[in-house]
Structure 1
Amino acid sequence: MKKLRFIIWLISLAWCNLLIAQVRISSWNLQNFGKTKSEAEVNFVADVLRDFDVVALQEIVAGYGGTQTVAKLADALNRRGAKWDYLVSEPTESTPYASERYAFLWKTSKVKRLKKAWLEQNFVDEIDREPYLISLSYNGKSFTLVNFHAIPKKKQPEKEIKYFKFLPELYPDNNLIFLGDFNVPQSHTVFNPLKKIGFRPVVQGEKTTMKMNCVEGECLASEYDNIFYNSDEFEVLSSGVVLFYKSFPDMVTARRISDHIPVWAELDFQEGG
């Protein structure tokens, strides 16, 4: 009888795994990620990201040093127990001082790339740093990440973000997930059109930019980074931010890594999604 119950349990577990696909996704603005980052700093970034399955990075240096440093990061991740692959975008079609690259990294044992990633061209004249998209699959469940870094708050990033409402119509067969540094909080009205069609932020009220110095224990400033998922297609099992600066003696040292902290979510791709 015990053996029979054990077999039934194994079958149930296998059936659940067929119905549910869980992927841990992270987004991180790595602030001028390029040749100025030391080997120790790249290794620290790898330690922060090692437990995720897919990572979207913003603010990769547009020059050769940016691509080279992402390659070093992928190599560092590969030395931590799992095989990773990566893609780096071409420089965005921006002014010389605003242009940058995006990057995706993923565990090859967990997800598969479906096709070549691309910089979104439909609104290249309206969006300074056009988003970088990649389509991936896990256990037959496909999803498309829309990696984005908005213009600074003083330049009104909502003027760019308002065009995101058109992307679900342009890619009706893609399960879109918007993620990155939006330079406005998720509560901003510019996200209302996406929210009306089912998109939700994975974190609310979570500040993600770092102050120059902690003031009375408060080290974070603004709620800019997030991940927006379609609640009709996915469920968030868990989410949060990584307070990596706590590994450093002060904020000045921590900000050599970045002035943003990573945001992450574990998404559940349910049957029928």
Structure 2
Amino acid sequence: MKSPRYVSRYLKAAFFVVCTALIPTLTVYASDIVVGSWNIQRLGHGSQKSFPALAAIASKVDLLAVQEVMTEAGITELEHALEKHTGEPWDHLVSHALGANSYKEMYAFLWRESAVEYSDGAVVYLDRENHFVREPFSAKFKSKQDNSELAIGTVHILYGKSIKDRTPEIKALADYWLWMADIYPNTPIVLAGDFNLPQSHAAWNSLKQYAQPLITQGASTLSKTPGKYANLYDNIWVERDTNLPINDAGIIDFPKMIGWDHSKSRKHVSDHAPLYMALGNSRLDNATASISAFTTPAPPSKPQPSTAEKATQEIRGNSNSHIYHRPDCPSYQRVSNKNRVNFSSAQAAEESGYRLAKNCPRPS
């Protein structure tokens, strides 16, 4: 039996920061795989889950981000069910339990070993300002088709008692996005999860400066009414100027796929449908049971400062990540006003405990 991977929050983070300094700054983009995201309602809790049904659905993708994992035994059982269903090996990565009180959840990634390989960088977000009840979890993966990579973060936003309880975490995702850009330089970034808020809400405006949702229509939560879906709470976000070769994205209508009604599906599978993103030449198998909701991401127009303007611009630090950016760094314009700390020079930033962003050009 394969030993499960478990991520220590601080040791893994420190290990990754050291190792990324040794990685060449060659940009490659994941391709020819199907990436999915799924809130598998209270996975590992109780005995009502149908793991054969879960495996039949999850096998449609090659890399799956999973939210609302209650025990690692639940992920391990799903991995074994996937191996039995597909006849090939799968692997998984799981975070530690996260939560502010006695109720805690884990995040996990599952992947088909013939198509995907874990690269490095598995880490729970170091949330210094305590924005999140369950801090996001991320890792970098490689497509075995051509060794191209992507970094994917996953999160389950607090539902709370009202929308007002959800919006602070949604707004904090902009800082998390910029943190991922620094942690995974020269790698396409993806954020997937159960956000408990449709992408049309104004709370998303901060993140929309840097990212865009792939799913903009339809709904992903199973209504109690047969055949009906209720809310578009789940999504997959990519960079506004992403280089990922996305050919399709949408919602997997899994009750239709396995021939179950919503009542049985909610009880034995989940009250959320999985989302998918097909890259390169990949296609979602059994696409008749999916709802395509994909519009090709359009890069935004970005006004570029003149050489004279660049010369007068200050060093920008991010007070949340303690990372600084020169005017020639790709993320210079992305530092939010809320977290921005200006320095007169790189030396002044470093004397204040900040380090240079890894995606900044290095002197030749």
Counterpart in the other structure of 1:33: 43
1:30-179 paired onto structure 2 within 5 Å: 30-38=40-48, 41-61=50-70, 66-79=71-84, 80-97=86-103, 99-115=104-120, 117-123=122-128, 125-138=130-143, 139-152=146-159, 154=162, 155-170=164-179, 171-172=181-182, 173=185, 174-179=187-192
Unmatched tracts of structure 1, length 5 or more? 1-17
Deviations 1:196-229 (CA, angstroms, capped at 9, x unpaired)? 22x2212111201111223xx5x11111001001
Identical counterparts, % of pairs: 27
Q: Quote the offset at 1:127 in angstroms.
A: 0.5
- Structure 1 residues 145 and 249 mapped into 2: Cα distance closer, same or farther (>3 Å)? closer
Q: 2:242 aligns with which of 232, 245, 249?
A: 232
The SS at the match of 2:225 is strand
Aligned alpha-carbon RMSD (Å): 2.3
Contact 1:248 1:254 in 2 (8 A): no
CA distance in 2, matches of 1:188, 1:72: 36
Q: State the AA in 2 paired with 1:67.
A: E
Larger Rg: 2
| Counterpart for residue 212 of structure 1 | 224
For the 8 Å contact 1:210–1:260, the answer to whether it is kept is yes
Alpha carbons 2:90, 2:113 under 8 Å: kept: yes
- For 2:120, what is the secondary structure of its paired residue? coil
Preserved contact between residue 24 and residue 53 of structure 1 (Cα < 8 Å): yes
Structure number with higher strand proportion: 1
Query: Is it true that 1:251 corresponds to 2:262 in the alignment?
Result: yes
Give the secondary-structure state (helix, strand or coil) at the position aligned to 2:271: coil
Question: Given residue 87 of structure 2, which amino acid in structure 1 is its aligned partner?
Answer: G
Q: How does the TM-score come out when normalised to structure 2?
A: 0.62
State how far apart, in whole Å, the 2-side matches of 1:117 and 1:262 are.
22
Deviation at 1:119, TM superposition (A): 1.3
What is the match of residue 279 of structure 2? 267
TM-score using structure 1 length: 0.81
Q: Distance in 2 between matches of 1:179 and 1:19?
A: 17
